[in-house]
Amino acid sequence: MEPLTRKEEEVLRILFKLERAFVKDIIAEMPGKKPAYSTVSTFITNLMKKGYVGHEDFGSTHRYFPLISKEQFFQKDLKRVVSDFFGDSHKALVSHFARNKKLSREDLEDILRMIDEQE
């Protein structure tokens, strides 16, 4: 699947939250100054072309829904981050958070426990 722009990702995250929504519902969930209806419609069209979003017809109106699960998107997004920023190394990712004190000793011990449970 093609990568998303930040705004397309924002719209997709709103659809994950709402599950099914009309453009007006998506706009209502957007923080700050609300974009134009046509702008959000363009984001939705792009998401449909990229295979992330489907729609149901209600006369001349459409209700949109994600075609992938939130978990599938998160996995794909995380894989991209690990690849782009950490040279495909999950170890480098965890090391980054440990070095920057974003993970406590307890967090690291929990991660080790999870790894042990998988084996």
Query: Given a cut of 90, is residue 48 above it in pLDDT?
Result: yes
pLDDT tens per residue, range 53-99:
999 999 999 999 999 999 988 888 788 888 888 888 888 888 887 78
* 51 Rama class: left (phi>0) / alpha (psi -120 to 50) / beta: left
As a residue count, the chain comes to 119
User: What percent of the chain has pLDDT above 90?
Assistant: 55
Which strand (E) or helix (H) includes residue 105?
helix 105-118
CATH fold, domain 6-66, is Arc Repressor Mutant, subunit A (1.10.10)
Domain boundaries, the chain: 6-66, 89-118
pTM score, two decimals?
A: 0.75
Res. 25 pLDDT band, cuts 50 70 90: very high
| CA distances to 15, 20, 52 from 12, in Å | 5, 11, 8
β-partners of residue 64 are 21, 55
